[in-house]
């Protein structure tokens, strides 16, 4: 009997070994830094900043899904509609879908953005536009888990369990 339980536990663990992570937040909220600090060694990073086209992004997402490779979509993912395709495709392939909502005041994001090199800086109107479109995520979208990510006074990250409020 113990062997059967161990076998079931391993199969559940194997199912959840594949993980799709969506970052949600305005530009300069710390998403890429969080990736480098927390997920660099375990997840492929998929970002339009690097790939430049949705076609390339879709190819890489599908390759990760087909290969059962953990991945992070490091975009703003500001609206439910933008998140929907990633969530549906990942869940259909048996991935655990996790969302990290970067709760950063716009003033902090604008300050961080101003410190970026000129070629990496986002126009302020773009950051404000994303903030205006930003829809808080919900478990009802298909996430298996959601977390708030905040920064502490030293610039470190604080990850908190989702409370269905922003």
For the domain that residue 28 is a member of, what is the CATH number? 3.40.50.300
The number of distinct structural domains making up the chain is 1
8 lies in a domain? no
Global pTM reads 0.87
| pLDDT, greater one: 2 or 126 | 126
7 lies in a domain? no
156 lies in a domain? yes
pLDDT at 8: 42
* 96-107 exposure pattern, b = at least 16 Cβ within 10 A, e = fewer: bbbbbbbbbebe
The SS3 call for residue 102 is strand
- What's the domain range around 140? 20-161
Residues 66 and 113: beta-carbon distance below 8 Å = no
Could you give the CA distance from residue 33 to residue 36 in angstroms, rounded to a whole number?
5
Kindly report, residue by residue over 134-155, the tens digit of the pLDDT: 999 999 999 999 999 998 888 8
Q: Residue 19: pLDDT above 70?
A: yes
Tell me how far CA of residue 110 lies from CA of 32, 113, 124, in angstroms.
16, 5, 7
Average pLDDT value for residue range 68-73: 98
Average pLDDT value for residue range 11-18: 56
Contacts of 153 (CB under 8 A, 6+ apart): none
13 lies in a domain? no
Could you give the CA distance from residue 43 to residue 113 in angstroms, rounded to a whole number?
25
Average pLDDT value for residue range 90-106: 96
Kindly report, residue by residue over 56-70, the tens digit of the pLDDT: 999 999 999 999 999
């Amino acid at each position: 009997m113990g062997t059967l339980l161990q076998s079931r536990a391993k199969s559940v663990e194997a199912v959840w070994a594949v993980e799709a992570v969506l970052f949600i937040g305005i530009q300069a909220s710390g998403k890429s830094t969080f990736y480098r600090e927390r997920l660099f060694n375990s997840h492929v990073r998929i970002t339009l900043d690097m790939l430049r086209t949705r076609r390339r992004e879709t190819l890489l997402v599908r390759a990760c899904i087909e290969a059962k490779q953990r991945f992070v979509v490091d975009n703003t993912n500001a609206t439910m509609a933008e998140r929907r395709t990633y969530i549906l495709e990942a869940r259909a392939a048996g991935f655990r879908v996790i969302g990290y909502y970067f709760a950063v005041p716009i003033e902090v994001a604008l300050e961080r953005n101003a410190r970026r090199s000129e070629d990496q800086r986002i126009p302020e109107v773009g950051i404000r536009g994303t903030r205006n479109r930003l829809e808080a995520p919900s478990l009802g979208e298909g996430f298996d888990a959601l977390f708030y990510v905040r920064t502490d006074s030293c610039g470190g990250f604080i990850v908190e369990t989702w409370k269905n409020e922003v």
